[in-house]
Structure 1
Amino acid sequence: MGSKWFGGMAVAVSAAVVVSTGSPVSARSRPADGGDTTAVLMARYAFNGRPVLDDSGRGHTLRIISGHGGVVRKVAHGQGSALLFPSRCLLRICPHVALQTPSTPDLNPGARDISFGADVYLSPTQTSKGQNVIQKGFSKTSSQWKLQIDGVAGRPSCVLVGDRLRRIRMATSTVTVADGRWHRVRCSRVGSVLAVFVDNLLRGRTTVPASLSVTNNRPMSIGGKGAFADNDQFNGALDNVWVQVG
């Protein structure tokens, strides 16, 4: 195992996870994961070069924030690489790490449609009460959109919380992704329907108000809410993280 420097932080290089889910998707030629062809790709991270760069060309560069020694490691995935986050930790003080953009209105859908997702690798021994894959905003203090992996069963769910009424709207998958294999997970809000897809199959849905709007001044965060103790740390590997609006 070696290391490379990204944004001033050493990121270890490992081949611990080597599974292919298909070739990477062009940042501009078509939807990131089977979504609406009229949508606009706002951010995409393939993690094949510097893991902080936005492959969509919109400049939403990530910064790595960490606490108590938390790091992300590059691991082989398909023809490129993915990022491996810290393993599940039951100690009083645990390593934490997340990747965050600056706050930007580009990533606020308002009441428009939005889709977002990632390729996810999680072992059945690494599940917890909740692990965040990608989010913008917080459910208690602002509006929010989020993809997370829930509970011991390791089922993905998609969350929307509106600007006005901070009620959590959630679509939860009927199938797990915590089985030691790569899965492509997508959240899609189209009008009044919020749905979760696993490997391009619809696995859960719920209704939301057509007027529900998500607009906040929070950063977009990948792999956890932040670097603090209660950050809902993701404990697997992520690749091809993307967001599109419209």
Structure 2
Amino acid sequence: MRRVLSGLVLLLAVLAGTTAAAAEPATETVHYTFDGPSPLTDVSGHGHDLTPVSRFGGAFTTVAHNGGQALVFPSPCHAEPCPRIALRAATTTGLNPGRRPLRYGASVRLAADQTTKGENVLQKGFSAQGSQYKLQIDGLAGRPSCVLVDDRRPQIHAAISNVGVADDRWHTLECRRAGSRLSILVDGVTRGRATVPADLSVSNRRPFSLGGKGSYPDNDQFQGILDEVWVRIG
């Protein structure tokens, strides 16, 4: 009898573990370190490699950072046509979080003379067309913010940092969405929060982009240095 009970306990434990594993949502990640001979490779192994889209001579260069490389985007330009460049991964539904928990971030370096009304660090989707998640840096103070837009309701939800990062120093930025809470962290410290609908869902067929929306004039061009970009879903 004791052996039977022990076997039953073991079977229940295995079944419980199997059920928990089946219920746990899959985690899709993307990670760019910009190191090595192929700096636009997704080192997470999920294959979301980047391809530049550019216009008017827009290009990136590399600079040494933390034993590896970081990407330098075009300098500020005040007379059109200006150099434009964005880095895009192929359109994929694998980077759509839906309603699941979502974290994403990057390391940035931005000087005071490199700020604009809006610079996109990373994004998937557009606020006016479908849904979106985005990390941006806005205004003369260079205040970062995290943005979410639902795939059914066009309202923009933003968690805006109460501190700026345009001081020509490296800063880590992170956005976190869990249920109805959206937070932005600067250098590991929560600097802003927003409440979002608990059923807010981000799901679109748009590409994942870094440094801008595209290569057209109003592309919200990022003008600083970028490193360690990542997304974690689930």
Structure 1 length-normalised TM: 0.83
Name the structure 2 match of 1:104.
92
CA offsets 1:120-139 (integer angstroms, 9 cap, x no match): 00001110000000000000
8 Å contact 2:30–2:46 — kept in the other structure? yes
Structure 2: 5+ residue runs without aligned partners? Answer: 1-24
SS at match of 1:40: coil
Match of 2:122 among 118, 123, 134: 134
Structure 2 length-normalised TM: 0.88
Match of 1:236 among 216, 219, 224: 224
8 Å contact 1:122–1:235 — kept in the other structure? yes
For residues 51 and 216 of structure 1, the distance between their equivalents in structure 2, rounded to whole angstroms, comes to: 26
8 Å contact 1:184–1:198 — kept in the other structure? yes
SS at match of 1:143: strand
Runs of 4+ in 1 over 3 A off after TM superposition: none
Q: Select the structure of larger CA radius of gyration.
A: 2
For residues 232 and 118 of structure 1, the distance between their equivalents in structure 2, rounded to whole angstroms, comes to: 17
CA offsets 1:46-78 (integer angstroms, 9 cap, x no match): 000212200000000110111000000011111
8 Å contact 2:28–2:95 — kept in the other structure? no
| Aligned: 1:159 with 2:143 | no
SS at match of 1:163: coil
Name the structure 1 match of 2:35.
48
8 Å contact 1:139–1:166 — kept in the other structure? yes
RMSD: 1.0
Structure 1: 5+ residue runs without aligned partners? Answer: 1-37
Number of corresponding residues: 209
SS at match of 1:147: strand
8 Å contact 1:155–1:173 — kept in the other structure? yes
Please list, as runs of the form range in 1=range in 2, the aligned pairs for 1:25-40 lying within 5 A after superposition: 40=27
Match of 2:135 among 147, 155, 168: 147
Identical counterparts, % of pairs: 55
